[in-house]
Structure 1
């Protein structure tokens, strides 16, 4: 892949950590208590990806089997080589998928297991009754939701990070054009959340340096290093001087990103490095990766 090939793919606005832009100084924020609370604590890690234990989070190998219709991804300007999206958790396609997972839990862990347990210990007729009137209806709902949710959801209110242009696209409201802001104008923050049961979690937030725009990662992390990994992964994805983050999901898209193609050629990376793993082996690897991220000397490299 020649420099000219890369120039034809990445726009002049693409984020390149080797070529920092000259930007105005950060204005002095006079935020109130609520805004400071919403932003959380500024993340002061060195720029770029250092730990790179991205395998400890994300998809399973079985989730990405088979080929992809790259033409459709290119036409819609999406895919793991072009865009990362942070969905709005209240948008209907996201709620549908969440409902599918909840129904799956009640169907198999609740309905099927309960029917078997009751049938063994209280009588076969009771087990058949639970199987017929509890498990089967839930199973039918789960099958319908699984069919509806096939493929990737079509989102409108999500936040989109475009690698090839270096832009972050924000949803502003119905019938309004999306706003695009350069990625390097955002600063990372980490906020602390407490759940209704007293459990605690951490959330990655991005605050626009020159406005009050604040966007949050859709996931909540149990540990601080989860936030750090998410921030590293996003930086590496947006940085066109670096290959795509080496994750299960991105693997099928690596052949379509010029910088990544060159990196994989130089390092002799196998095209199916992750997908040849079975789920059990991959989960074992994820445990090791998570422990490595936990013990990593964050901020000291």
Structure 2
């Protein structure tokens, strides 16, 4: 719902216009890695998901993780310094100096260093950190009604990516609960084939949540996406493709939906729409719905 934002959509629209203008003038210089296949497809037909390899993710985690850890620890460090100085028999400056040149560097130095190194490498040395994914992980195809799982077991030895394909209606959604580092239960969505050993872990798509609502909302989203009798989910991601899907195009015509509904939306209205969507997620009634498959299959744990 929140990616891309309308402001981001307008930015990339303007960038594309400028790019086409430069191409027409013969002054366009391709950006580094432009045209590299990332194996992601989010359009009116396919929801295909891919991830950067660990080598690339390492640098992203270094920058993001180091930055967040430093930002979180810094205020606590300052508060601790004031508390220790207030009860110390030494002067405030002596106490602070001891902490400043001893404890603080040991505590805040590593995350700050990771943050700075990650930022410099990612923003100034892209050839060091960026590697495209080998291929996609999974795909849901609205046009064919099929789910594809890409198997990499033979990739290292033979360079082959196997494709395991099955109809969407043969899959069941499971919420899998696992503890986080503090032991709190976190819920993630899995899609598991009813008759074969095919399972898709969506935790890389959205992080596990301590409520059941977000995994249920993601399951509703995929069901709506794969239901060709219904229009595409009305979120910013699909606005450029709505006219390409016949059912969605007819729905928009009947509802007189503006073609630029999201991209022309102002920031305050978009924030209100996001808040409204979050309210709908909290009100999802998944576990009160009848399980229609229970009339046809027997589940064995």
| TM-score normalised by length of structure 1 | 0.60
CA RMSD for the aligned pairs?
4.5
Aligned position for 1:269: 257
CA 213–297 in structure 1, closer or farther in 2 if over 3 Å, else same: closer
Aligned position for 1:66: 12
Q: Does 1:252 align with 2:240?
A: yes
CA 264–66 in structure 1, closer or farther in 2 if over 3 Å, else same: farther
**Deviations 1:63-113, CA, capped at 9 Å, x for gaps:** 4343398xx8xxx893322221344586555555545543564688889xx
Q: Does 1:102 align with 2:47?
A: no
Aligned position for 2:42: 79
Q: Does 1:204 align with 2:192?
A: no
Q: How many residues align?
A: 238
Partners of 1:184 and 1:100 in 2: CA distance: 41
**Deviations 1:159-208, CA, capped at 9 Å, x for gaps:** 11122222222121111332222211111111112101123221111110
Aligned position for 1:183: 168
**Deviations 1:128-166, CA, capped at 9 Å, x for gaps:** xx9xxx9799557426525749x9x64525111122222
CA 246–146 in structure 1, closer or farther in 2 if over 3 Å, else same: farther
* Contact 1:79-1:253 at 8 Å conserved across structures: no
Residue among 161, 164, 170 paired with 2:149: 170
Partners of 2:182 and 2:283 in 1: CA distance: 28
**Deviations 1:15-34, CA, capped at 9 Å, x for gaps:** xxxxxxxxxxxxxxxxxxxx
Q: Aligned runs of 1:94-173 on 2, under 5 Å?
A: 94=57, 97-102=60-65, 105=68, 138=115, 141-142=118-119, 144-145=121-122, 148=126, 154=133, 156-173=135-152
* Contact 2:40-2:50 at 8 Å conserved across structures: no
Larger RCO of the pair (alpha carbons < 8 Å, separation 6+): 1
Aligned position for 2:276: 288
CA 289–238 in structure 1, closer or farther in 2 if over 3 Å, else same: same
Deviation at 1:287, TM superposition (A): 2.6
Partners of 2:182 and 2:198 in 1: CA distance: 30
Please state which structure has a larger fraction of its residues in helix: 2
Partners of 2:217 and 2:181 in 1: CA distance: 26
Deviation at 1:244, TM superposition (A): 1.2
CA 155–137 in structure 1, closer or farther in 2 if over 3 Å, else same: same
* Contact 1:86-1:160 at 8 Å conserved across structures: yes
Unaligned runs of 5+ in 2: 17-34, 78-92, 106-110, 291-301
Partners of 2:243 and 2:56 in 1: CA distance: 29
Deviation at 1:225, TM superposition (A): 1.4
Unaligned runs of 5+ in 1: 1-54, 115-120
Deviation at 1:259, TM superposition (A): 2.0
